[in-house]
C-alpha cells in the first residue's frame, strides 16, 4: 500500500463519506474512489462498505483504519520532531488529564512550557481511567496525567509515578453526614462519582475491607463541575482526591466528611505509550511535569 493511501483511509473513516473525504483532501470523488480501490487491491480485502448513511469500515477494514491512524500520527510527529531538532519548535502535544491534574499540575506546567515553547500547541482533554488509556494506544494522545494504570491496563504503556494522594469524602456543606466519623454509617448514603461506568469506584475497597457491601453510585459524571454542582446543598456523597480540596472549597459550598479511617490512597502518574517516540517538545513537557511534582510524595 502506498504512503498516500494512509491519509486517504483515515480521512474516509473520519468523515464517513467519499465525497467529504475528496473535499477535505482537495481531490475529485472519482480520484478518491480510484485510490481507495487501489489500496483495497493491494491489501487484498475491502476496507469500507456502503451503508445508507455513508461508508463504514468492514471487519478487516477497521483493523486497517486503526493501523493507518497510528501511521498517520507517526508521520505527523516525524515532521514535528525533525523541525524541533532543527530548532523550529512547532507542533502539538495532546494530553488527557484527570480533575486532580487539571487543578494541581496543568496550570503551572503549562505556563512554564509556553514560556519555553510558545509555538507548540497543547491540546488538553478531560478523561478518566481506564478509558483514558485507549487514545494513547491509538496514537491520539501523547500523555495521560492521572491515576496510574492498573495491572490490566499497563501492557503497552509506560507509567512514571508522580505522587500519591489521599482520598476524602465530600458532601454538601450542610449535609447530615458532616458529623459522621464511623465510615460504616455511610453505607446507606447516595453516592455519585466521576468517571465512566467501567471505572471501579475508589470507595468500594473502603467498604469491602470492613465486610460491608459497597453502595452503587446512583449517578456518574465525566465533568467535575457538574459533580460539584450536584453536591452543593445536598446529602450526596463523593470520594475525591484530597489535594485540590482547599481550592474547591473556596469556590464551592462543599464540606468534608470527618471519617476516622482513611480511604485507600491513589497513585498519580504520567503515562505514555511504549511504542511512541516522543518529540523533543513532548520530552520537555514531561520533564516539567516531573520537576513540578518532585516534592509532593
Per-residue model confidence as pLDDT tens digits over 148-182: 998 888 889 999 999 999 999 999 999 999 999 98
Q: Which residues contact 226 (CB under 8 A, 6 or more apart)?
A: none
Quick check: 198 and 222 in contact, CB under 8 A?
no
Q: Where in the chain do CATH 1.10.10.10 domains reside?
A: 3-71
Strands (E), the chain: 48-51, 54-57, 91-97, 120-126, 143-147, 157-165, 167-172, 192-194, 219-221, 238-241, 254-256, 266-273
Quick check: 263 and 168 in contact, CB under 8 A?
yes
What pLDDT was estimated at residue 231?
93
What pLDDT was estimated at residue 54?
83
What pLDDT was estimated at residue 145?
95
Confidence of residue 123 (pLDDT cuts 50, 70, 90): very high
What pLDDT was estimated at residue 282?
92
Q: Which fold has domain 89-164+267-293?
A: D-Maltodextrin-Binding Protein; domain 2 (3.40.190)
69 to 20, 137, 139, 158, 244: CA distances (angstroms): 18, 11, 7, 20, 36
Q: Which residues contact 7 (CB under 8 A, 6 or more apart)?
A: 25, 72
Higher pLDDT: 88 or 283? It is: 283
Lowest-confidence segment of 137-141, 235-239, 280-284 by average pLDDT? 137-141
Quick check: 91 and 279 in contact, CB under 8 A?
yes
What pLDDT was estimated at residue 159?
95
Give, in degrees to the nearest 5, the angle at Cα 290 between 284 and 293: 140
Q: Specify the CATH number for 3-71; select among 3.40.718.10, 1.10.10.10, 3.30.420.40, 3.40.50.360.
A: 1.10.10.10
Higher pLDDT: 21 or 53? It is: 21
> Would the pTM count as exceeding 0.95?
no
Query: What one-character DSSP code corresponds to residue 183?
Result: G
d(CA 79, CA 279): 10
What pLDDT was estimated at residue 53?
80
Quick check: 242 and 100 in contact, CB under 8 A?
no
Q: Which of 259, 103, 272 is nearest to 181 (CA)?
A: 259
Higher pLDDT: 286 or 76? It is: 286
Q: Where in the chain do CATH 3.40.190.10 domains reside?
A: 89-164+267-293, 167-264
What pLDDT was estimated at residue 207?
87
Superfamily of domain 167-264: Periplasmic binding protein-like II (3.40.190.10)
Amino acid at each position: 500500500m502506498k504512503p498516500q493511501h494512509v491519509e486517504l483511509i483515515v480521512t474516509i473513516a473520519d468523515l464517513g463519506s467519499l465525497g467529504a473525504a475528496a473535499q477535505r483532501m482537495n481531490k475529485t470523488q472519482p480520484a478518491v474512489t480510484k485510490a481507495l480501490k487501489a489500496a483495497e487491491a493491494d491489501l487484498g480485502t475491502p476496507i469500507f462498505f456502503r451503508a445508507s448513511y455513508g461508508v463504514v469500515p468492514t471487519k478487516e477494514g477497521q483493523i486497517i483504519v486503526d493501523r493507518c491512524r497510528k501511521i498517520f500520527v507517526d508521520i505527523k510527529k516525524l515532521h514535528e520532531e525533525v523541525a524541533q531538532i532543527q530548532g523550529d519548535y512547532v507542533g502539538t502535544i495532546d494530553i488527557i488529564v484527570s480533575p486532580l491534574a487539571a487543578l494541581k499540575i496543568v496550570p503551572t506546567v503549562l505556563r512554564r512550557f509556553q514560556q519555553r515553547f510558545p509555538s507548540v500547541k497543547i491540546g488538553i482533554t478531560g478523561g478518566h481511567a481506564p478509558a483514558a488509556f485507549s487514545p494513547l494506544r491509538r496514537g491520539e494522545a501523547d500523555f495521560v496525567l492521572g491515576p496510574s494504570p492498573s495491572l490490566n491496563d499497563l501492557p503497552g504503556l509506560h507509567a512514571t509515578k508522580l505522587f500519591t494522594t489521599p482520598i476524602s469524602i465530600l458532601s454538601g456543606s450542610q449535609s447530615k453526614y458532616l458529623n459522621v466519623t464511623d465510615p460504616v454509617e455511610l453505607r446507606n448514603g447516595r453516592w455519585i462519582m466521576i468517571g465512566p461506568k467501567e471505572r471501579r469506584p475508589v470507595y468500594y475497597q473502603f467498604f469491602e475491607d470492613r465486610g460491608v457491601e459497597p453502595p452503587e453510585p446512583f449517578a456518574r459524571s465525566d465533568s467535575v463541575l457538574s459533580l460539584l454542582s450536584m453536591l452543593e446543598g445536598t446529602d450526596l456523597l463523593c470520594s475525591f482526591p484530597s489535594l485540590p480540596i482547599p481550592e474547591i472549597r473556596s469556590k464551592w459550598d462543599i464540606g468534608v466528611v470527618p471519617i476516622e479511617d482513611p480511604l485507600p490512597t491513589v497513585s498519580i502518574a504520567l503515562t505514555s505509550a511504549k511504542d511512541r517516540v516522543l518529540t523533543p517538545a513532548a520530552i520537555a513537557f514531561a520533564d516539567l511535569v516531573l520537576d513540578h511534582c518532585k516534592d509532593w510524595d
